Chains A and B, each alone.
Chain A
Amino acid sequence: MNNVAREALLRPFGRASRPWWLTIVSLSLVVGAGIAAWVVQLRSGMGVAGYNDHAFWAIYIADAITFIGVSYGGAVVSAILRLTGATWRAPLTRLAEGTAVVTVFIGAALIIPHIGNPILLWELVTRPNLSAPVFWDMVAVMTYIFASVVFFALPLLPDMAILGQDHGQRLGRRRATLFARVSRGWVGAPHQKRVLAGALGLVSIMIIPLAVSVHSVLAWSFASTGRPWWHESIWAPQFVVAALYSGVALVILVVAGFRRGYHLEGLITERHFVRLGFIMATFAAAYLYFTFADILPGAYVGEPGTAAVFTDLLVGRLAPWFWMFAVVGGLLPLLLVALPWTRNVRGMVIASSLVLPMMWLKRVLLVVGPATYDTVLGTFGTFRFTWVSIAITLAATAAVPLLLMLLFRVVPILSIEEIEEASTGHTPTEPNRPAGREPSPVGATGTSHRVAGTIGVLLLVGLMGVLGVGAAGPAQAATPQSASVSSSLSSATGEPTITIEGVEGGGKVQLTATLTVANGQPQADAPVEFSFTTTEFGEPARLVPLGTVTTDTSGVAKLILGGGADRMYLPTTVGPQEFVATFTPTTADAKPISSSTTVNITVARSAYTPAPPKPLASLGKGLVVALFAIVAAVWLTLITQIWRVRRVRLATPEPTTNTA
């Protein structure tokens, strides 16, 4: 068994075959086409990718969700199997974890074409908005990437040591040098293995909540907007289940591909595929259930927005695609696992190949449906697939096998240490291994340490160097001044005259206008309009009418400003305020007459009361501090694990008789 494993392990390090080169070249061409498409998009704008104002989020964010999602299969499944001590996982872990690392990098990179102005992407670090889900997305993805790399790199150490010492001459010069450098000082001594097992156990535990956090925050960047269907509490767990489901499917495909390409049939058997198939079927059932639970309440209540989106999804424009997903991407894979005569390698591979594109389709549907919904009119816009967005999506897809093939030219494709332990029950090179729960001693690579350290330093520097958003207020308007309004008090006899007086007292302003006609006789029953002047909206001053009062028998009209039964208006600024009384005679040719007075206002009241703060707004700050503390703790713990392993590797080993 061990010899079979070692032979298989060394096979990828031999001379590259012709099909290998052909595959690499064709995949590279697809990736190159995608990069060219991205350059086109950069030059002419995102419109060439089919985006418009009524389809502002679409294919790229769906791609990013899909690719970050499939990385779950590697990380979580491998971690769960490791923690539960399922030894059958041994030949799969390296492939699964490598898939996780590769896909999470591709998924994170897909954010770049999604962004309209990617040249400013560094602002996410230098001036983050701590209340934005997208910022926390970045934090979660970065943390998850770091953890995935650690989780992938730690178990490489003993493998590289074994291969370097036992088969150095078959590795090729460069690989031998690399392996020797990485595993320098690693002899598989008990204390080394113990420390590595501890570190790996801790990372396996950590990577599960980290993976959950990534897709939860991704879901919340949708759910924390008010759009129908996005704004659902089930979205975060549904995203997590979707990621697990598609992730297991990708692991099946990757394992099948490398098993065939490198003839690993002796190590990876149908049993492995069926077991992965069972895991996939569990998630398929869970995801179908979540999809149903997601849609039912909204469709049942039928609020206009939600009803429109679900109508569109279930019986409208998107219906063929949605039901295709439900049948081909949900029921059919379930059936393929359930039926005994399809429960084999071929059946599982077919099921996985159905799941992956259908899960991508589901992501496109759940992004495009609500994004194209016009929340004012209730109509739908259209997203058009163009060659640009398709080329970039295909490039991301081709990058997965491409990067995996390149990766496994450098690092061992199988975890030889785990396989040998799984087959014998304990390490052949170290019979006195303590009865730990972890069968696999592992190690960190110097390279991963440096990479991780750099990422960590960059992130910490970024977090510390945050700039706030300046509240750039526009220049202030000149304060309203009392402008000179012509007091068109006519002195000619026979013409009516009007005078106005204003008194402020008791928080109110009383305006009194006296209207007289010729000979000084008071004019009764005449409408007098009171106004105040403002220059806020430009010169000359505008008259703002306060109300019309009819004069009494002595020709007097009174207006009290002060709320309640009086007029609502009260002067809003302290200082001189001009009031005007105007009388418009009913005779055809007569001109309006008016008089103005200036009252020195001492008590002013703004008419405006700001809205009260939101009830839970104050909790946000506490949450931010807590989140930063958690993120810092995670990074520190991960860095500590690398540091521990590195130290134990470089420490002088106690003399043992081990041969590895």
Chain B
Amino acid sequence: MQERTTLPEEMPAGPPPGATPDKHPMLSRRNTLAALGVSVVGGALAMVSYRDDASAATISTASAEKTAEHAWCMVIDLRACDGCKLCTFACQKRHNLRDEQTWINVYDMKDSSGGTFPMPRPCMMCEDPPCMYVCPVGANLHTDEGLVLVDTEACIGSRACMAACPYEARYFDWSEPLPAKRLPMASTPQMPVAKKGTVGKCVFCADRLPYGELPACVSACSMGALYIGDLVTDVAVNGPGTSVVLSEFLYDNDAVRYKEELGTNPRVYYIAGHGQDLGGGE
């Protein structure tokens, strides 16, 4: 009995000696394989479309204009920032961070004349967040209000997001986090509780925004350099209480976004200058 079950590409060179291949098992196996293949590809398709549903809730779709009530953003007026780091300290206190963990970090940036100027850097809340695309388990979420948040309960700590973030906005709990100074509470993406081996980053105080409260850094900034804004309602406010029409404020002051050329569409706007009179504006 010659039992042969060869596909053409598996056929040995040279004709098989004797024995005509029995066609039926081959056909039936092909059918089985085809059915299996179709089901696997079908499953993949279903999975892809399921992911589509998940991502349809994000701001990146065209219909977001109608559905999203808010599109949070931040405006940082570098003319007013004096580099006091009150924003950093307020954030670290609120989120129980170590000294070296800075969700909003005030960098000493070099200017063209050799001096430095302070530049606060929160999470940029990119509309095309590179960190989100590279997370192997999808532990980042992009809310319909444009906030990029980390689900520390799902984070496996691959740190791919830290590699992808062009703004160095992400931090990792390399050791046991500081003991909580507040009542124990459930960790949510909006108000994450630090967990060893996971990533953390600025959340724009997403737990405060729905209640009309300002993020810790914004309310701590006595210089009024930090504004929390809403692109949909076109309003931005700072800690001392100045309210502005966002679009006009950005337009009049020639606001720019950091590393605009990377195509991440960050939601943090900077107004250039560091205290000096640039001769523009008013």
Interface residues of A, Cβ cutoff 8 Å to B: 44-48, 51-53, 56-57, 114-118, 120-121, 123-124, 127-135, 137-138, 190-191, 194-195, 197-199, 201-202, 221-222, 224-227, 230, 371, 374-377, 432, 434-438, 460, 463-464, 466, 468-480, 534-539, 542-546, 567-569, 572-573, 606-611, 613-614, 621, 624-625, 628-629, 632-633, 636, 640, 644, 647-648, 651-652, 654
Q: Are B160 and A132 in contact (CB under 8 A)?
A: yes
Q: A437-B13, A625-B44, A625-B48 are in contact. Are A469 and B141 (CB under 8 A)?
A: yes
- Bound together, the chains give a CA A231 to CA B3 distance in angstroms of 52
Minimum CB–CB distance from B168 to chain A (whole Å) comes to 5
Min CB distance B166 to A, Å, is 5
Beta-carbon contact of B235 and A534 below 8 Å: yes
Q: Which of B60-98 contact A (CB under 8 A)?
A: 60-62, 64-65, 69-71
Chain A residues near B198 (CB-CB < 8 A): 116-117
Is B184 close to A, CB under 8 A? no
- The residue in A190, A226, A636 that gathers the most chain B C-beta atoms within 10 A of its C-beta is A226
Bound-state Cα–Cα, A194 to B11, Å: 9
Closest to B258 in A: A376
Q: Which residues of A contact B211 (CB under 8 A)?
A: 477, 538
> Do residues B265 and A611 form an inter-chain contact, with CB atoms below 8 A?
yes
* A470 to B139 alpha-carbon distance, docked (Å): 9
Q: Are A633 and B37 touching (Cβ within 8 A)?
A: yes
- Decide if B275 is an interface residue (CB 8 Å cutoff): no
Some 12 contacts from A to B, beta carbons below 8 A apart, are: A53-B171, A124-B156, A127-B138, A129-B137, A132-B138, A222-B163, A224-B134, A376-B107, A477-B70, A534-B243, A572-B233, A610-B127
- Structural contact, B158 and A629, CB atoms closer than 8 A: no
Nearest B residue to A572 via CB reads B233
Interface-central residue, B145, B156, B207, by most chain A CB under 10 Å:
B156
Q: Which residues of the other chain, A, contact B127 by a CB distance below 8 angstroms?
A: 610-611
Q: Give Cα A464 to B71, complex, Å.
A: 35
Contacts of B27 in A (CB 8 A): none
Question: Which of B101, B243, B246 is most buried by chain A, counting CB atoms within 10 A of its CB?
Answer: B243
B162 within 8 Å of A (CB atoms): yes
Flag if A543 contacts B54 (CB, 8 Å).
no
- In Å, the complex CA distance between A539 and B2 comes to 87
With both chains docked as a complex, state the minimum distance between the C-beta of A570 and any C-beta of chain B, in angstroms.
8
Contact B48 A539 (CB under 8 A): no
Contact B12 A607 (CB under 8 A): no
Instruction: Choose among B12, B198, B210 the residue with the greatest number of A CB atoms under 10 Å from its CB.
Output: B12
Cβ–Cβ contact B167 & A376, under 8 A = yes
Please tell me if the beta carbons of B50 and A468 are within 8 angstroms of each other in the complex: yes
Known A197-B12, A224-B134, A633-B37; judge A625-B158 contact (CB<8 A): no
B 30-53 binary contact with A (CB < 8 Å = 1; else 0): 000100110011011101101111
Within 8 A of A (CB), among B116-137: 121, 127-128, 130, 133-137
Q: Which residues of chain B have C-beta atoms less than 8 A from A535's C-beta?
A: 212
CA distance A221 to B190 in the complex (A): 28
Residues A537 and B214 in contact in the complex (CB < 8 Å), given A463-B44, A477-B209, A542-B243: yes
Least CB distance from A80 to B in Å reads 18
Contact assessment for B149 and A127 in the assembled complex, using a CB-CB cutoff below 8 Å: no
Residue of B with least CB distance to A198: B10
Q: Which of A376, A476, A535, A572 has the most CB of B within 10 A?
A: A376
B228 → chain A closest CB, angstroms: 7
